[in-house]
Amino acid sequence: MRSLSLTRRAATGFGLAALAAPAIAAGPTVPRWGVHEITLKAAVPGNPFDVALTATFTDGRTTLKVRGFHDGEGIWRLRFSPPREGVWRWRTTSPVRALNGQAGTVSATAPRLGDHGPLHVAGGYHLAHADGTPFRQVGTTAYAWAQQSDALCDQTLATLRASPFNKVRMCVFPNVAAEPIFPFEKAGEGWDYDRLNPAYFRRLEDRARRLGDLGIQADLILFHPYDGKTGWHAMTPARDDRYVRYMVARFAAFSNVWWSLANEWDLVKAKSVADFERLGQLVRAEDPYGRLCSIHNWRELYDNGRPWISHASIQNGAAVMDDTRAELLRSVWKKPVIYDEVRYEGDIDKRWGDLTPQGMVERFWHGLVAGTYVGHGEIYKGDDGWTAKGGRLHGESTPRLAFLKSVMDAGPTPGFEPIDKWWDQHLGGQLGSYYLRYFGETAPTEWTLALPKEELKGGERFKVDVLDSWSMTITPVDGEFVMARKDAYFMHDPNRPAVALPGRPWMAVRVTRV
């Protein structure tokens, strides 16, 4: 598991030469993709959150510009995550004399054991770590878990540690009751939107760091419409920009951080599409590492083809009831598609929170066959609700999603592709080598094993497994299936044209080349 422990070092006192000097004394070290932190001190007049501070880092091949941030009481920090091993030189720029012209080096060493680096889009529709390791997204939503008591946060992290979930959608501003600590300073009965509260963000980054320690991605939601009368979602453009710059400065160096511009952007009535475009481009401009970035919808889909959007984050309870529907948005935007909200497993009297465990698991499997990804949520009566505050999971879908994750991990790289998608074959995997057929709530007693002819010539040998996605079992079918031409479109084994199935729902068949 990777660690994002922060090294807090003063920028002065190292006895370092200037950035452009040919010989520099040995500086501190940090693992590749870890976080190196530079601490400076300066008293400034006026609003410290409006003071510009940047540092340029270079290893001679790549140059990255990092924004610093005010952390209260005259403390300023810059955080850097080296994308490569080697010596990186840095120099600061600021109109404040005490913050300007500071310089030094940091040496990036080999990454920590198990740290595969930050994520990027791979193969057009999937995600992979910087070292090429595939990332098979099995996400969950716990909106305001990070703003709860330390005890409840500890419980949430313990739950995640034992779960299959490798990404958590979480709000920067809480959307339900939380601890009495706030992102902005109080001003009478309201808020001073021009002065952020560093203690609040230190607490949030502790949560993000601890997720990173577990190897879990933190999908940070910057705005949402459910912050009550605070007005945090409805600030002026200048205040929005200040807040977003501050967030990127504090969190971008954490390699497990993603940006989500908004939850249900079309309900944030105080902002227009032009506002979100400005903010999306601002995140892209400010983030030197290009972390993943999305925007989540209620009913109106955002144009996820925009260049600042790395992947589509979708709310849709119907699309993943069938793999052919789930695939369509992938073809439209030609990007990874994550159905982050497909209704929540639960028993409340709202349709968005009354999904059966079987229905939740079914949506993940349809999404997998479609070459897309799905997110989990849970809310049961008599409980604060995992998706609201974290804590414990009570539903039956979680262990079944762990089983799904094991199937994903054993599948093709970088991920599953839809196969013969225009003809309702309901196959996913990789042409010529791997085929997965999921049957959902239907209960067939056999499946005709006919594979699209692409990448097959005849004579190929395959083994077949019957998977029960609910009972979490894998039953190998005896012998091998040898391919021969069936007709103009399909290959099959004429001696074994069908696979017997048990006649119950939630089954799948996996066909892999020997």
DSSP one-letter string for 450-474: -EESTT--S--EEEEEEEETTTTEE
d(CA 351, CA 440): 21
When divided into structural domains, the chain yields a total of: 3
pLDDT reported for residue 8: 30
Quick check: is 323 in a domain?
yes
The mean per-residue pLDDT over the stretch 296-318 comes to 97
The reply to whether 48 and 179 lie within a common domain is: no
pLDDT reported for residue 13: 31
The reply to whether 13 and 52 lie within a common domain is: yes
Task: Look up the CATH number of the domain holding residue 53.
Answer: 2.60.40.10
The mean per-residue pLDDT over the stretch 447-468 comes to 98
d(CA 181, CA 200): 6
The reply to whether 371 and 463 lie within a common domain is: no
Quick check: is 167 in a domain?
yes
Task: Look up the CATH number of the domain holding residue 467.
Answer: 2.60.40.3950
Domain end, chosen from 64, 92, 109, is at 109
The mean per-residue pLDDT over the stretch 143-160 comes to 98
Q: What is the pLDDT of residues 378-419, one digit of tens each?
A: 999 987 899 999 999 999 999 999 999 999 999 999 999 999
pLDDT reported for residue 23: 39
Angle at 80 between CA 137 and CA 218, to 5 degrees: 25
Looking at residue 37, its amino acid is E
pLDDT reported for residue 26: 53
How many other C-beta atoms are found inside a 10 Å radius of the C-beta of residue 151? 9
Judge whether residue 500 has pLDDT over 50: yes
The mean per-residue pLDDT over the stretch 433-458 comes to 98
Quick check: is 414 in a domain?
no
The reply to whether 265 and 401 lie within a common domain is: yes
Which residues on neighbouring strands pair with residue 223, listed in sequence order?
262
Judge whether residue 135 has pLDDT over 50: yes
The reply to whether 243 and 379 lie within a common domain is: yes
Q: Is 90 helix (H, G, I), strand (E, B) or coil?
A: strand
Give the long-range contacts of residues 396-399, CB within 8 A, separation 24 or more: 396/345, 396/357, 397/345, 397/357, 397/360, 397/361, 398/163, 398/164, 399/472
Angle between helices 198-213 and 237-251 (to 10 degrees): 40
Quick check: is 419 in a domain?
no
The reply to whether 144 and 60 lie within a common domain is: no
pLDDT reported for residue 384: 80
Pairing of strands 63-67, 54-58: antiparallel
The reply to whether 435 and 375 lie within a common domain is: no
The reply to whether 288 and 396 lie within a common domain is: yes
pLDDT reported for residue 474: 98
Quick check: is 446 in a domain?
yes
pTM passes above 0.85: yes
CB 211 within 8 A of CB 142: no
The reply to whether 321 and 366 lie within a common domain is: yes
The mean per-residue pLDDT over the stretch 333-350 comes to 97
Which residues on neighbouring strands pair with residue 485, listed in sequence order?
491
The reply to whether 405 and 436 lie within a common domain is: no
Task: Look up the CATH number of the domain holding residue 294.
Answer: 3.20.20.80
Judge whether residue 81 has pLDDT over 90: yes
Quick check: is 116 in a domain?
no
Which residues on neighbouring strands pair with residue 217, listed in sequence order?
167
Domain end, chosen from 343, 374, 409, is at 409
Quick check: is 425 in a domain?
no
pLDDT reported for residue 386: 97
* DSSP string for residues in 258-326: EEEEESSGGG-TT--HHHHHHHHHHHHHH-TT---EE-B-SSSPP-TTSTT--SEEEE-SSGGGSHHHH
CB 498 within 8 A of CB 511: no
How high is the mean pLDDT of the chain? 94
Place of tokens 């601002």: 282
Place of tokens 């008599």: 382
Q: For the chain, give the percent of residues with pLDDT over 70.
A: 95
Q: Report the largest interatomic distance among the alpha carbons of the chain, rounded to a whole angstrom.
A: 84
The reply to whether 364 and 251 lie within a common domain is: yes
Judge whether residue 15 has pLDDT over 60: no
Whose CA is closest to 378, among 403, 350, 354?
354
Quick check: is 403 in a domain?
yes
How many other C-beta atoms are found inside a 10 Å radius of the C-beta of residue 365? 25
The reply to whether 383 and 450 lie within a common domain is: no
How many other C-beta atoms are found inside a 10 Å radius of the C-beta of residue 460? 18
Write out the residue range of the structural domain in which residue 198 sits. Answer: 134-409
